[in-house]
Amino acid sequence: MLLTASAQQAVQELAQRYGVSTDAVTTLLSAVSLGGGTMAQFYHNELGGGGQWMRGGMTMVGDMFNSRLQSTVSGLCSELSTLLANQVVFVPAPQQSAGFGSAQNWWPTELGQPSSSGGQNDVRYAYFPGAHRLAVSRGGQVTVYDTLDHQIGGVQQQQGGPHGSQSFTSQFGTFTVESLPIAGSPQQAPWSAPAPQYAPQQPAFGTTTEPSRSMPTPPASESNLEPPSARDVIGQIERLAQLHQRGILSDQEFVTKKAELLARL
């Protein structure tokens, strides 16, 4: 939403007193408003990048060893919290076309009431955590984004461009609204490996799959085959006889070996 004339004057006075730009003060004002006046998450280069403030608690800035900057942010957030509590800061939104609620509700009526909303110039936002939606109006054109798993806790609005720019802070850090998908738009499915050309054959229902193993060959009938040991013994005796005839084995050696082989039958 737009700032009232008194709020704009207060922002300028705070900027001069603390020695920072009005854009930095406006960024903190939006963040404190989004935090219900008791806390803020913000991002601004002039304020050390990303930071956090909690009323009555610790103030953290990106330049963690800069105590002067930490004191500046703490003082600004405290005064902005008081400003939000004591006067109207944002100008009520103008009447929108049918389907976008009342003068205060410029977003689609089916979204209900936001947990926080705000704006600067002609750029406005409204956050609906229950529906995981973020409505943004730029020059009267309303776009609804899907916030996915983000839990938004801070907003920063920058000057420049036809409508300026917005960035938000969640548990994942600072991100731009352009990084969110538009609600209802088709999304690209996550990459996955292609399926195999042929699916593996599944076992029949009620059966179990076991490692394949070769089937043993059934033993041959003993009536059809001569015992292998007999053939081996006869062959060895024949070879011993040849060695005996050639004089390689003596008579005693031949008789002894022959008796040992015959004993195996």
Question: Could you read off the pLDDT tens digit of each residue along the chain, which spans 265 residues?
Answer: 578 888 889 999 999 999 999 999 988 988 888 888 888 888 888 988 888 998 888 888 888 889 999 999 999 999 999 998 888 887 765 544 444 444 457 888 888 878 777 777 678 888 888 888 898 888 788 999 998 888 887 777 665 554 456 778 777 878 888 888 998 754 433 333 334 443 444 444 344 444 444 444 445 444 444 554 666 777 787 887 877 777 777 888 877 887 787 777 6
Structural domain boundaries in the chain: 1-90, 92-184, 228-262
Q: Using the 8-state DSSP alphabet, how is residue 184 labeled?
A: T
Q: For residue 229, what pLDDT is reported?
A: 60
* Count of CB atoms situated within 10 Å of the CB of 32: 28
Helix axis angle for 5-18 and 22-34, nearest 10°, is 120
Q: Is the pTM of this model over 0.95?
A: no
Q: Strand, coil or helix: what is 152? A: coil
Q: Are 60 and 105 in contact (CB under 8 A)?
A: no
Query: 169: which residues sit within 8 A by CB, 6+ positions away?
Result: 31, 41, 42, 43, 50, 152, 153, 154, 155, 156, 175
Q: Using the 8-state DSSP alphabet, how is residue 203 labeled?
A: P
Q: For residue 93, what pLDDT is reported?
A: 52
Helix axis angle for 5-18 and 67-86, nearest 10°, is 160
C-alpha–C-alpha distance, residues 256 and 132, integer Å:
99
Q: For residue 33, what pLDDT is reported?
A: 85
Q: For residue 78, what pLDDT is reported?
A: 92
Comparing CA positions, the residue from 8, 43, 87 lying closest to residue 16 is: 8
CA angle 120, 124, 129 (to 5 degrees): 130
Q: For residue 15, what pLDDT is reported?
A: 94
C-alpha–C-alpha distance, residues 127 and 107, integer Å:
10
Q: For residue 7, what pLDDT is reported?
A: 87
Q: Where are the beta strands (DSSP E) in the chain?
A: 2-3, 39-44, 49-54, 90-91, 116-120, 123-128, 133-138, 141-146, 154-158, 165-170, 173-176
Q: For residue 1, what pLDDT is reported?
A: 54
CA angle 58, 7, 129 (to 5 degrees): 60
Q: Are 95 and 109 in contact (CB under 8 A)?
A: no
How far is Cα of residue 230 from the mean position of the Cα atoms in its chain?
Answer: 76
